[in-house]
Amino acid sequence: MTDVHSTESGQARRTTTNEARDAILAHEAHRGVETEHKMSFWQGLRTYPHAVGWSILFSTAIIMEGFDVVLIGNLYALGPFQKAFGKELPNGTYQLTVAWQAGLSNGALVGEILGLFLNGIICDRFGYRKTIFGALALVICFIFIVFFANSLVVLLVGEILLGIPWGVFQTLTTAYASEVCPVVLRPYLTTYVNLCWVLGQFIASIVLKGVQPLDSKWAYKIPFACQWMWPLPIMLGVSLAPESPWWLVRKGRLGDAKKALLRLTSRQNSSFDVDETIAMIERTNELERQITQGTSYTDCFKGVNLRRSEVVCMVWAIQTLCGSTFMGYSTYFYEQAGLASSNAFTMSMVQYALGAIGTMSSWCLVNWFGRRTLYMSGQAAQTVLLLITGALGCIPNSGSGVHWAIGSMLLVYTFCYDATVGPVCYALVSELSSSRLRTKTIILARNLYNITGIITNILTPRMLNPSAWDWGARAGFFWAGSCFLCLVWTYFRLPEPKGRTYAEIDLLFERKVPARNFASTVVDPFASLDSLTISEKKKGHEMVEAIENIATIGQIGS
């Protein structure tokens, strides 16, 4: 009887202890949410200065992908590359065939699709740091293939293999940025990923402009070699970086999560409570576990996650479907529009400089207007600009003035895109996916982006190449129609996550709140915790200590 009574008593103590701990954890989580809501931009910077630095370091890996995307698309306009890999046309000039233009542009995208799916498995098991470190090591090896390529087949193989680590960078950098920073800094660090993309494009255009006078194989080998300057410094920094606290909590490593969070924050801020933030992460993870148990790819299409996957996937696909494909072929487009080769390369440099300015301006706009409003207004403006570009392409016997006008429209389009759709996409995909499925949802979204990119890379060369459809600037009409359809979807389906914690966004999706009502709906994922006071929290701690002491005494007595 004593043993039975002792067992029942032990179970009661454990139940009471668990309830007390849950109450404490819930209260701390609630206070963590309140702290994030009250945190201003400058408070966020003072509290999370190290998180900003580490996030910027991780995102720098995207520069390499942006560099190569522009490099391949604009090498088609480089004389030595055309002569080495193209075919001679009746007029004596050289051009790559449409098939090979599409093949090379799509090669990296094919590799990225494979890399993205591998990233979902590897990152979930080994974490962000080890995954990106291994991807950077692969980049160093695969650059040798494209540098020494002497045929289109070898060049294509190199592009496919390079796409594998680039696929890792595409999602991992965004997910890491969204997890190491508070709500107030989230839009800035996630949209910074787009700035890295634009910086890579800008650097590529500078390098191409610099090698444009060369008349040897080094005109295209030097740009390939420039890709070696990035991986080693980033690898050194990544080896010292802290792991994401969210990933550590999902793995049950709460002690390590606390240590990582302390490395991401400043200890000079005495008001910051690391336990409250860890409790918020833990409770959010538990809330999502209750909503959806699994963390596999199939779970992205179950229950409320189906809607979240649809929204995130479409948000990223719109980046391609809104007509941005023109920017990747900008130099080639300028040449086919009638500009001289030297002017075409100069215009590309100006274009990507404007893109960088546009991305930085989005940091102000995104908090003034919100993600949804900025995303819709950007698509509306792009639709108008594409219509104007198409109309200019219809002017018969157009002179140099029209050619410059067409080029100017593409410059304005680039600024508009990089101030709205381009960077805001990264904030949306990181905020609207659940934390437990974030990596896999972003991977699915980026792969849809890559698939639409493959389609546009098949269509765009045919639209611009004089040996194919030869639409030139008239292709603007096609992309204006595509952009308008994207705008219609955005209006009806895209929610507004501005200022929301991940737990709040989870609850809005769980309650099936319509997209247009997201911003105005009031939710509190820890509403039942409001009755807890500081004194009750203190009593909870005392209760836990008392029960543990009784249990210890009982063990000693027995």
In this structure, of 38-42, 88-92, 333-337, the range with the lowest mean pLDDT score is: 333-337
Q: According to CATH, what is the number of the domain 21-528?
A: 1.20.1250.20
The answer to whether residue 138 scores a pLDDT higher than 90 is: yes
Q: How confident is the model at residue 488 (pLDDT cuts 50, 70, 90)?
A: very high
- Digit-coded pLDDT (tens) for 277-296: 888 888 777 776 765 556 67
pLDDT number for residue 375 = 95
Q: Which residues pair with 94 in a beta bridge?
A: 88
Q: Where are the alpha helices (DSSP H) in 183-253?
A: 186-211, 218-225, 231-240, 245-250
Q: Tens digit of pLDDT for each residue in 322-345?
A: 988 777 666 666 776 666 777 777
So where are the chain's domains?
Answer: 21-528
Convert the pLDDT of each residue in 295-304 to its tens digit: 677 888 888 8
486 versus 476: the higher-pLDDT residue is 486
Mean pLDDT of the chain: 81
Q: What is the pLDDT of residue 84?
A: 84
What's the pLDDT score for residue 144?
A: 94
267 pLDDT tier (thresholds 50, 70, 90): confident
Spell out the long-range contacts of 116-121 with Cβ–Cβ below 8 A and sequence spacing 24 or more: 116/167, 116/168, 116/170, 116/171, 116/443, 116/446, 116/447, 116/450, 117/443, 117/447, 118/164, 118/167, 118/168, 119/167, 119/168, 119/171, 119/172, 119/439, 119/443, 120/297, 120/439, 120/440, 120/443
Return the bridge partners of 293, or none.
none
List pLDDT tens digits, range 380-438.
999 999 999 889 888 776 556 777 787 788 888 989 998 999 889 988 988 898 777 87
pLDDT at 52: 92
Give the residue among 428, 424, 433 at the shortest CA–CA distance from 364. Answer: 424
Residue-wise pLDDT tens digits, 338-375:
667 777 777 778 888 888 899 889 888 887 888 999 99
Q: How far apart are CA 401 and CA 404, in angstroms?
A: 5
pLDDT at 551 over 80: no
Predicted local distance difference test score (pLDDT) of residue 557: 43
pLDDT of residue 222: 92
pLDDT at 308: 92
The stretch 23-44 carries a mean pLDDT of: 72
Q: What is the pLDDT of residue 480?
A: 94
Q: How far is CA 412 from CA 164, 226, 341, 353, 415, in A?
A: 33, 29, 21, 12, 5
- How far apart are the C-alpha atoms of 88 and 103, rounded to whole Å? 19
The pLDDT value recorded for residue 10 is 47
Quick: pLDDT tens for 143-162. 999 999 888 899 999 989 99
Express each pLDDT in 200-217 by its tens digit: 888 888 888 888 888 888
